Structure 1
């Protein structure tokens, strides 16, 4: 039996800004852009890897959450503590420079971690933490 990751979900608070970041800065291809009731779900993923995607979703689109929960989610997104994803790059320094040049919020410059990974960290426009590992 084979199990793989098909998609991960990250919230956005502005679909156009999220799309520009993931498509134009990170270089992901757009696989879907679906609107419903004034909200948008945008699916992006690495070029040449059709089996792995990120769905950028409106947190208000979750059915059954309360107003208090919506406020908590908005507060956590603003602080960058609601969602996180780890990506991998074959040129960590080049990607770091590209993200920095596009104004992404730097959390950590590229460093060798004591647990054997070289990585860096940013926040996307919605505040989601993005860690990027160097592929060796």
Structure 2
């Protein structure tokens, strides 16, 4: 009897969404402040826009900067609730890595990025916390050597 070779059904994540209050402002924040690359900026029908950016060293991961508008995903009531959650900093979260946290922190702070926690050594690593222009918050961690 021959052993069956397992082939994983899911092989990677290539798109993830960050809900934003304004796509033009989010474009400016992610591209001009964080230094991400624009991947796609395309009209998707009346009042809809597909806007994705990529971290410079991870071009196969597209971050979709999704406007919170009534339409296909949200009715007006749920869109208003989502905008309130994002604005309050209670919805979005992610972890970004960098090679030199202190230098990256200083550079981003000089560009006007709002940090809610300065670089701090924690039991799990070296990190700082910041918010995007919509209120989503992120951990910025120094990549571990090795």
Same fold (TM over 0.5): yes
Distance 1:130 1:6, change over 3 A: same
CA shift, 1:53, in A, is 1.7
Residue 120 in 1 paired to residue 120 in 2?
no
CA shift, 1:110, in A, is 0.7
- Separation in structure 2 between the aligned mates of residue 43 and residue 24 of structure 1, nearest angstrom: 14
Residue 39 in 1 paired to residue 52 in 2?
no
Which ranges in structure 1 are unaligned for 5 or more consecutive residues? none
Corresponding residue for residue 110 of structure 1: 119
Q: What SS does structure 1 have at the residue aligned with 2:69?
A: helix
CA shift, 1:70, in A, is 1.4
Distance 1:61 1:47, change over 3 A: farther
Residue 51 in 1 paired to residue 73 in 2?
no
Structure-to-structure mapping, 1:1-136, within 5 angstroms: 1=8, 3-35=11-43, 36-60=45-69, 63-114=72-123, 116-136=124-144
Aligned pair count reads 135
* Structure 1 or 2: more helix by fraction: 1
- Separation in structure 2 between the aligned mates of residue 43 and residue 68 of structure 1, nearest angstrom: 26
Asked if structure 2 preserves the Cα contact closer than 8 Å seen for 1:122 and 1:130, the reply is yes
Distance 1:132 1:62, change over 3 A: farther
Normalising to structure 1: TM-score of the pair?
Answer: 0.89
CA shift, 1:109, in A, is 0.8
- Separation in structure 2 between the aligned mates of residue 48 and residue 129 of structure 1, nearest angstrom: 21
Cα RMSD, aligned residues only: 1.7
Asked if structure 2 preserves the Cα contact closer than 8 Å seen for 1:10 and 1:57, the reply is yes
Asked which structure has the greater CA Rg, the reply is: 2
